Structure 1
């Protein structure tokens, strides 16, 4: 008497796997380009603002005895807001890849507002003279010291231009940020990689029984 297998032979008419959706042409490339552009604009803009804030924004002289004492004030002495917002923008530029959904939208808005606020603050302080007057009072020990020969440099406008680059990065994040990747996207909340679900064996599907036998499993359990 021959041995008869209890496992039925596999069927050859298994349904073909469903076709995977194909992304729209150009979507992936546009997303990558927007990520690169936002990173470049944001980092460059923040660097420009921080650099310009450390330069001389206003010059003048104060009378000290019979001499004229030269005075200068850099951007941080005039207004520290552009430099502070540039640091906020750098943090937001990193955080935008660490969050998703509504959180990413809020961080992108913060990035854009940092650029807008930095540009406005730099332009409003472009003709400010209070910082130089305070420097004159400190240097001459005379609160009524008069500042003469007041001149302003172009660095406030350079800082404003850098802040506008940050604003552009924020606009890109608002427009394309939903399609950008997120850091640690392939990890679950517990920090480990996603575990694949165990394969289920259907008792009414012979092909599943054969696959289980090929894996060394007992399909009768």
Structure 2
């Protein structure tokens, strides 16, 4: 007589629990990456990106250019990214997909703009021309800091948050989901009147009910 081996049957509850756990993890990761990336971009864009000198009256003047002097694109896109990160939970279906795309593009754009401005001298050349009064003046001893690359790294974090939203966003809860089941407010269930509680009797009378009626 052969031995019949038991074949494990997939448990729907276990599968649902696994899916819920994966959804929560992806949601937490997207929130962390998006918030951290936007913060990094906003902070790093305010730091000094480039340094140099300009010749004035036989001497030299030190020049500095912050990220916002070089380009305002990363800062603007970081703010857009934060708004899109919040909006992901306020919309559903196609709207959530569009917002996730916007979040991804914000991160990619911020990173690209930071890298393009990492080696430029335009902001310092303009400052040198302003100080010397010579429109043809340029910056000397030009050097760059690491902050443009830190800004670009922040943009990449925002991009990763957007990619997570594109991949898992359809399974995330929305802000209105817990309050609106069928588009109408949930009816409040009244507690039965207890004839031994005077406050229940008064409340029933206020509602126009007969507290002596058993229904």
Rounded Cα–Cα distance in structure 1 between residues aligned with 2:60 and 2:126: 16
Give the alignment's TM-score, normalised by structure 2: 0.78
Rounded Cα–Cα distance in structure 1 between residues aligned with 2:141 and 2:181: 62
Aligned position for 1:41: 33
Q: List aligned pairs for 1:126-141, cutoff 5 A.
A: 126-141=118-133
Rounded Cα–Cα distance in structure 1 between residues aligned with 2:20 and 2:180: 24
Rounded Cα–Cα distance in structure 2 between residues aligned with 1:181 and 1:92: 15
Q: Given the alignment, which residue of 143, 166, 173 partners 1:181?
A: 173
Q: List aligned pairs for 1:6-155, cutoff 5 A.
A: 22=13, 23-155=15-147
Give the alignment's TM-score, normalised by structure 1: 0.76
Rounded Cα–Cα distance in structure 1 between residues aligned with 2:130 and 2:183: 56
Which structure: greater helix fraction? Answer: 2
SS in 1 for 2:16: coil
Aligned position for 2:153: 161
Q: Deviations over 1:149-185 (max 9, x none)?
A: 0001111100000000000000110111011010021
SS in 2 for 1:24: helix
SS in 2 for 1:71: strand
Shift of residue 128 of structure 1?
0.8
Residue 193, structure 1, aligned to residue 185, structure 2: yes
SS in 1 for 2:173: coil
**Which structure has the greater CA radius of gyration?**
1
Aligned position for 1:201: none
Q: Deviations over 1:176-214 (max 9, x none)?
A: 101101002133499863348xxxxxxxxxxxxxxxxxx
Rounded Cα–Cα distance in structure 2 between residues aligned with 1:91 and 1:189: 26
Q: Let me know the Cα RMSD of the aligned residues.
A: 2.1
Shift of residue 25 of structure 1?
4.3
Q: Deviations over 1:42-82 (max 9, x none)?
A: 00000000111001111110000011100010001101101
Rounded Cα–Cα distance in structure 2 between residues aligned with 1:131 and 1:189: 54
Rounded Cα–Cα distance in structure 2 between residues aligned with 1:191 and 1:127: 54
Matched residue count? 179
Residues 186 and 193 of structure 1 are in contact (CA less than 8 Å); yes or no, is this contact kept in structure 2? no
Residues 116 and 163 of structure 1 are in contact (CA less than 8 Å); yes or no, is this contact kept in structure 2? yes
Residues 57 and 152 of structure 1 are in contact (CA less than 8 Å); yes or no, is this contact kept in structure 2? yes
Structure 1's 191 and 63: CA in aligned 2 closer, same or farther, altered over 3 A? farther
